[in-house]
Amino acid sequence: MLFSKNKHLVGLDIGSSTVKACELAHTKKGYSLKNLATTEIDSGLIVDGGISRPSELAHAIRALFDENRIRLKNVALSIGGYSVIMKNISVQKADEKALHNSVTMEAEQYIPFDIKDVNNDFHVLGPNKHNVEQVDILLVAAKKDIIKEYTGILESVRISPGIVDVDVLALQNCYELNSGGGQHTTALIDIGASKTSLNIIKNNVPVFMRDVSLGCGQIDQQIVSQCECSIEDARKIKLDRQSEKITAEEIDEIESVVIKNWCTEIRRAIDFFYSTYPDDSFNQVILSGGGANIEEFRKLLALETSSEVEVINPFINVQINRGRFDSDYIDSIAPQAAVCVGLALRRADDK
C-alpha cells in the first residue's frame, strides 16, 4: 500500500541521475541529521521511470549504503511520473472499512489503467465543504509492475521497502516540516534530471498535481549533441564551465533555451490549475531539485508566474552536527535532498 507504515526508516530517493539516502533521528529537541549520502548513476539505468539495468542499480544502492555505513535496512522510497495517478474525490462518510470499500469502488472511474494492474490507497483530507454527508479523499494509485520493479531491486540487496510513497507527497512532507505549512496556497516545484513535479497545496492540502517530462538532463543532452561526448562528460562540462569543444557562453545559451521551455511548460500547467480553480491563486513558489540552483531559471519563473520564488532548505528545522557534516556540501546538496528528507520523516501511524 502506498501509505503503509514502518517504524524508523531511511529515506531513499532513486532519481534518473542520482540516488540519495537520508536518515533522521527523532529526539526530544526535534529532528537531527544522522546520515546523508548521494551517488551518481550512469545515464540509461532509469528511463521514463522504468529500470533498464536492474543489477547495476541494485549494486549502486548497495554500495551507497555500505560506503556510508547506513546500517538501517528499512527504507521509504517514492515513485512518480505517469505510473502514478492522484485525484481528489468526494465520497459518503462511513467507518474505515466501509470507506475503504467505497473508495475502491469509486477508484476505477478515475484511473486510466486496468484496476487489476494498480495498487491504490487513499488519505482522508477532511469534510467536504459543500456536502456535510461527504468527505474529501486523496486517491493515489500506482502501477503494480513499477512498484514490484523498485521493491524487487531493494530486496535483491537485502534492503526492506517499508513504504512506497509518491515524490510530490514526500516533497510536501519536507516543506511542511520546515515551513509549518499554513493557511495559504503555495506551488511546490521539483526540477529533477528527467522529470519536473508540480504540487499546488492549499491550507496543507494538495489540490493540483502534475508531472512533466523535462529537467536538467535536457541541458546535458544538448551539450552531448554539440560536443559529441558522453552524458558523464557533458555533466562535467556543465559544472566546470570549460571545454575545448564548447565555450562558457555557448553553455549559457543552451541553458537559457532549455530554461525558457521549462517555464513555458510550468506556465501551461499553472494555467490549467487556474482554469480548474478560477477563484484560487498563489504568490509563492518553492523550488527543489537540481534545477533550483540555476539563478536564471528562478528569475524567469518569478516573472512568468508573478510570484515570489524561493529555494527550499530541507534542513531549516533539522539539527546538523557541523563537525561531522561539511557545511558547504550540505548547502550545495540541500535543494536536491528535499524528497529524501521528506521520505525520512515517514514513521509508524503517520497516515
The whole-angstrom separation of Cα 214 and Cα 192 is 8
3-state SS class at 172: helix
Phi-psi label, residue 119: left if phi above 0, alpha if psi -120 to 50, beta otherwise: beta
Q: Report CA 313 to chain centroid distance, whole Å.
A: 14
C-alpha cell at 240: 566546470
Give 12's strand partners: 21, 77
Q: What is the pLDDT of residue 149?
A: 95
- Determine whether 93 is exposed, middle or buried from the number of CB atoms within 10 Å of its CB (0-12, 13-18, 19+): middle
Q: What is the pLDDT of residue 348?
A: 53
The whole-angstrom separation of Cα 184 and Cα 173 is 16
Question: Which residues are CB-contacts of 21 (< 8 A; sequence separation ≥ 6)?
Answer: 10, 11, 12, 13, 35, 36, 37, 38, 64, 65, 68, 70, 75, 340
Q: What is the pLDDT of residue 219?
A: 95
Per-residue pLDDT of the chain (351 residues; tens, 9 = 90+): 454 444 789 999 999 999 999 999 988 888 999 999 999 998 888 887 789 999 999 999 999 999 999 998 999 999 998 889 999 999 999 888 888 888 888 888 888 888 899 999 998 988 998 899 999 999 999 999 999 999 999 999 999 999 999 999 999 999 999 887 667 889 999 999 999 999 999 888 898 998 888 999 999 999 999 999 998 899 999 988 888 899 999 999 999 999 999 999 999 999 999 998 888 888 799 999 999 999 999 999 999 999 999 999 999 999 999 889 998 999 999 999 999 999 999 975 555
Dihedral pair phi/psi, residue 291, rounded to 5°? -65, -20
Cell 504568490 found at: 283
Q: What is the pLDDT of residue 181?
A: 64
Q: What is the pLDDT of residue 267?
A: 93
Task: Give 26-76 pLDDT, tens digit per residue.
Answer: 888 889 999 999 999 988 888 877 899 999 999 999 999 999 999 989 999
3-state SS class at 40: strand
